[in-house]
Amino acid sequence: MHSRAEEGRLRAEALGLKTATPEDLRRARLVLLCVPDAEVPRVAEELATTLPRSVAFVHTAGALSLDALGPPRGRALGSFHPLCAVSSARDSLAGHTAAISTRSRALRDVLRHMAVDVGLDTLEVPEGHRAAYHAGAVMSAGLMVALADAAVAALGAAGIDPKDALRALLPLMRSALRGMEARGLAGGLTGPIVRGDAGVVAAHLAALPDDVAPIYRLLSRRALKLASERLRPESRAALEQRLR
* DSSP-assigned letter for residue 20: P
Q: Where are the beta strands (DSSP E) in 29-154?
A: 30-33, 56-59, 77-83, 97-102, 121-124
Question: In sequence order, what are the residues at sequence separation of 6 or more whose Cβ sits closer than 8 angstroms to the Cβ of residue 174?
Answer: none
- What are the start-end ranges of the H helices in 61-141? 105-117, 130-140
CB-based contact 12:23 (threshold 8 Å): no
Closest-CA residue to 120 (of 98, 103, 101)? 98
Question: In sequence order, what are the residues at sequence separation of 6 or more whose Cβ sits closer than 8 angstroms to the Cβ of residue 193?
Answer: 201, 220, 223, 224, 227, 239
* pLDDT value, residue 170: 97
Q: What is the dihedral of CA 106, 111, 117, 121, to 10 degrees?
A: -120
- Sign of the Cα torsion 231, 195, 178, 159 reads positive
| pTM score of the predicted model | 0.82
- pLDDT tens, position by position, 23-61: 888 889 999 999 999 999 999 999 999 999 999 999 999
Strand, helix or coil for residue 80: strand
How many helical (H) and strand (E) elements, i.e. helices and strands, does the chain have?
Answer: 11, 5
Angle at 213 between CA 184 and CA 244, to 5 degrees: 80
* pLDDT value, residue 134: 93
pLDDT (tens place) for every residue of the chain, 244 residues total: 677 666 666 666 676 777 778 788 888 999 999 999 999 999 999 999 999 999 999 999 999 999 999 999 999 999 999 999 887 777 888 999 999 999 999 999 999 999 999 999 999 998 889 999 999 999 999 999 999 999 999 999 999 999 999 999 999 999 999 999 999 999 999 999 999 999 999 999 999 999 999 999 999 999 999 999 999 999 999 999 999 9
